[in-house]
Amino acid sequence: MLKKQFSKSKPTCKITFSLPKEAVAKGKSVELVGEWNDWDEKNATKMKASKSDYTATVELETGRNYEFRYLIGKSKWENDWQADGYVPNPFGFDNSVVSVVSVPTVNKTAKKASAKKSSTKKASTKKTTAKKATAKKAAAKTTTRKITRKPVAKKATKSTAKDDLKKIEGIGPKIAEHLNKGGIKTFADLGKAKQATLKGILAAAGPRYKMHNPGSWPKQAKLAAKGNWTELKALQDKLNGGK
């Protein structure tokens, strides 16, 4: 999760990065690495642990986007689950993106024009409301017949349940989108999926996705579907990029 606080006196923004503890195995250290420090792990920003997550605050110059990732236990990389965007990296995975743009300013003339327009709109709305009220009273005097309307049956809607498939190691935002398009939207769907089906979805997504091995995805998904997060993290610690 990203929380931004733009400076009013200089072109900078303080960004608080946070990663839920459920994404980190117990006892592991978490560090923040990105473009602002040239991806140098030696100069990584150490994140502090709280009751629910790990956090770190970095001040960056505005006017551009920055790529970043979280480094867990000096060996495992994790993306921000609510980043502003994601871009592919040379290693076959995605980097998280934080967008830092200047806060738009509104001049006094524009503010006055907006306030005047709002005032005019309110006055017009009051006149319209008064006319409608008068029309309703007139209609009530000319007729006493009651109109009974039959309740309209609500149409049944299809379930739109969807899980965050990015919690499965080896699945990034783009792969999650392709799985959703292929009808796999929940942990339960993924847990039941056959390897041939998963490989077919990856092949249809393009050449860059053929290199991914979905062998462990159903097993991870079954644990996630049951809420066995501790067992899932133990399994993911043994994996390397989901393999």
Q: How many residues in the chain?
A: 243
Which residues on adjacent β-strands are paired with residue 56? 17
Q: What's residue 90's pLDDT?
A: 83
Q: What's residue 156's pLDDT?
A: 46
Q: What's residue 74's pLDDT?
A: 85
Q: What's residue 122's pLDDT?
A: 63
Q: To which H or E segment does residue 173 belong?
A: helix 173-181
Q: What's residue 161's pLDDT?
A: 83
Residue with structure tokens 């871009």? 87
User: Mean pLDDT for each 10-residue chunk of the chain (243 residues)?
Assistant: 92 93 80 94 92 92 93 89 89 90 56 58 63 64 52 54 90 92 93 92 84 89 93 87 67
Q: What's the 3-state SS for 79-147? A: CCCCCCEEEECCCCCEEEEEEECCCCCCCHHHHHHHHHHHHHHHHHHHHHHHHHHHHHHHHHHHCCCCC
Q: What's residue 181's pLDDT?
A: 92
Record the tokens describing residue 168, joined without a space: 């499965």
Which amino acid type is present at position 157? Answer: T
Which amino acid type is present at position 96? Answer: S
Domains and their CATH numbers in the chain: 2-100 (2.60.40.10), 165-238 (no CATH)
